[in-house]
Amino acid sequence: MAKDRNIVILTGAGISAESGIDTFRSAGGLWERHRVEDVATPQAFARDPDLVLRFYDMRRAAIQEKAPNAAHHALARLDREWSGGLLIVTQNVDDLHERAGAGRVLHMHGEHLNAWCLACDARPRWTEPLAHRPACPECGEPALRPDVVWFGEMPYRMDDIHAALREADLFVSIGTSGAVYPAAGFVRLARDLGAETLELNLERSKGSAWFEQTRLGPATELVPAWVA
C-alpha cells in the first residue's frame, strides 16, 4: 500500500495475550472468574464498590509487570515509519502500545493508569490501588474510580474515531472477538465508507464475515508479518 494512505487499526485483548494479560472471553479469560455484571458496570460499582475497586487494583498491578510483545513493537514501528494517516484505536486499558513506542493511540475504553474523580471530574494519572479510597489530588474527596468504560457507558472519543474511519483506506482489526459494540461495528462502517478490511486474530471473530481478508494465528506472528 502506498505510504500516504490512511490506516485505522483496532486492537483488542488478543494483542496483549502473549504479554501475559488475560483476555476477556477466551478459555480461561477474565470473565470466567468474574461475572462481567459483577465488575464492569456502573450498577456493580454502586452495589459493591470494594469488589470492583479490588478487581481493578489487581489488574492494574498485574499490567505494570507485563511488557509489550512483538505485535505491539511491530505496530509502533509502523506508526513511526508510516507517513500517511494512522490511528491505533485500542479497546485495551493497558499501556503496552505506548510502552512499545506508538504515539498515535486512542483508548476508547479508557486506561488502567488513569483514575476519574466522581466529585470534581479530574482524571489524574494513577498507578496505586484505589480500594483504600485515596483522596483525589485535585479536590481532596475520596471519590476516585478507575477511568475505564463500563457496559452502558459511552466509549471515549467516538467523534475522532468516526472521523478517522471516514478517511480510512484500510481498516485492520487485531485480537478482538467482535462481541462488544460499538467497536464490533467499525468493520461494517469502514467497509461502507470504502476502506479495505483485514482481520488478524487467533480464531474467527463474531464479525469475521464482514472482513475481506482474515488471517488466523497468534498476534506476535501475524502482526510483524503484516507490517514487514
- Which residues contribute to the site for ligand BJW (CB under 6 A)? 12-14, 17-18, 23-26, 29, 40, 91, 93, 109, 148-155, 175-177, 179-182, 201-203, 205, 218-219
Looking at beta carbons only, is 12 or 68 nearer to ligand BJW?
Answer: 12
Q: How far is the CB of 171 from ligand BJW (least distance, A)?
A: 15
**170: enclosing H helix or E strand:** strand 170-174
Residue ranges of the annotated binding site are 12-31, 56, 59, 91-94, 117, 120, 136, 139, 175-177, 201-203, 219
Q: How far is the CB of 4 from ligand BJW (least distance, A)?
A: 29
Strand partners of residue 158: none
Euclidean distance between CA atoms 95 and 78, whole angstroms: 17
Look at the chain and count its residues. 228
Look-up: residue for cell 472482513? 211
Residue ranges of the annotated binding site for NAD(+) are 12-31, 91-94, 175-177, 201-203, 219
Looking at beta carbons only, is 6 or 108 nearer to ligand BJW?
Answer: 108
Euclidean distance between CA atoms 30 and 201, whole angstroms: 18
Q: How far is the CB of 217 from ligand BJW (least distance, A)?
A: 7
DSSP-derived pairing of the beta strands 196-201 and 213-216: parallel
Q: Of the residues 72, 97, 109, 112, which is catalytic?
A: 109
Is 107 a known active-site residue? no
Q: Which residue is nearest to ligand BJW (CB)?
A: 14
Q: How far is the CB of 216 from ligand BJW (least distance, A)?
A: 9
DSSP-derived pairing of the beta strands 86-90 and 105-107: parallel
Strand partners of residue 117: 144
Euclidean distance between CA atoms 63 and 76, whole angstroms: 19
What burial class does residue 2 get, using C-beta atoms within 10 Å of its C-beta: 0-12 exposed, 13-18 middle, 19+ buried? exposed
Looking at beta carbons only, is 182 or 194 nearer to ligand BJW?
Answer: 182
Residue ranges of the annotated binding site for Zn(2+) are 117, 120, 136, 139
- Ramachandran angles phi, psi of 128, nearest 5°: -95, 170
Looking at beta carbons only, is 5 or 70 nearer to ligand BJW?
Answer: 70
Residues carrying an active site annotation:
109
